[in-house]
Amino acid sequence: MARRPMVAGNWKLNKTIPEALALVTELKNALASVRDVDIVVAPPFTALWAVHERLVGTNIGLSAQEIFFEDAGAFTGKVSGPMVKDAGCAYAIVGHSERRQHFHETIETSNKRVRAALKAGLMPILCVGETLDDRQKNNTTKVVAEQLDGGIAGLSLDDLKRTIIAYEPVWAIGTGHVATPKQAQEVHGMIRDRLRSRDTAMADAMRILYGGSVKPDNAHDLNEEPDIDGSLVGGASLKAADFIAIVRATRGTH
């Protein structure tokens, strides 16, 4: 089944507002003619509105890097789904491994965030992935399956149709050690099979992105795999030329 690939750039803790506008202006000019890939950027909260205004009417969508699961209240420092939706976001990244590692994100709180995103009218991009230790102990399937099952627990079929999964092996993130296409495909295939036990049509339509040291020179081969539907890009999304090259390398792979 043909799935529309997506390339999403996670800018993490980078870019002031002027820097964000400069980057996104280059992207929108270079990628204006791309119609066969969903292109998404995830700037820091402070730059969301400015970037949104710059992107109105373009083919580039906006994502938050994270949201809290409560909509409003006495939660100093938090930002909610309705707030980022209001700032122009259509997507929210949930459960990134850096949030699991540094900010006490768990399977349960990821699930709450996925639900909060959907409730706010956002499409969650749920990240799952094993550590090097998990992989070396042959626990990849178990760990990824737990994060997947727990992350989407309680979602209706309609919710799942608006959800995107990103397989991001922790050992590949920011390390330059990209998973081989075969390694990535094995896990992507397992994820899709698991989703099939819920509903075949939904599983066949679900976008499963790969993330972890995606670069212009490996994006094409990864996306040639049958169950890889684009990428979640960290470091290389900060350089316009690299991100543009990754989007171009993804075209025509599905």
121, 154, 174, 252: residue in contact with ligand PEP (rule CB under 6 A):
174
With a CB cutoff of 8 Å and minimum separation 6, the contacts of 197 are none
State how far the Cα of 95 lies from the Cα of 75, in Å rounded to an integer: 19
Q: Is 123 in the site for ligand PEP (CB under 6 A)?
A: no
Q: Which CB atom, from 154 or from 174, has the smaller least distance to ligand PEP?
A: 174
In this structure, the dihedral spanned by the alpha carbons of residues 34, 165, 243 and 45, taken in order and rounded to 10 degrees, is: 110
Nearer CB in complex with ligand PEP: 203/210: 210
Shortest spacing between CB 127 and ligand PEP, in angstroms: 7
Give the integer Cα–Cα distance in Å for 24 and 28.
6
Q: Specify whether 168 is catalytic.
A: yes
Using the minimum distance from each CB to ligand PEP, give the nearer residue, 48 or 173. 173
Cα 215 vs. chain centroid, distance in angstroms?
A: 15
Name which of 123, 122, 146, 142 is nearest 134 in CA terms: 142
Which residue's structure tokens are 């791309």? Answer: 34
Give the helix/strand (H/E) hosting 161.
helix 157-161
Q: Closest distance between ligand PEP and the C-beta of residue 231, in Å? A: 8
Q: Which of 98, 105, 168, 225 is catalytic?
A: 168
- Which residue number, 174 or 252, has a Cβ lying nearer to ligand PEP? 174
Question: What is the distance in angstroms between the CA of the first residue and the CA of the last residue of the chain?
Answer: 9
Among 235, 242, 244, 245, binds ligand PEP (CB under 6 A): 235
Query: Contact, 148 vs 128, CB < 8 A?
Result: yes
Binding mask 6-45 toward ligand PEP (x if CB under 6 A, else -) reads: ----x-----------------------------------
Q: Mark 206-225 with x for binding to ligand PEP (rule: CB under 6 A) and - for no binding.
A: -----xxxx-----------
Catalytic residue numbers, as ranges = 96, 168
Where on the chain is the footprint of ligand PEP (CB under 6 A)?
10, 168, 173-174, 211-214, 232-236
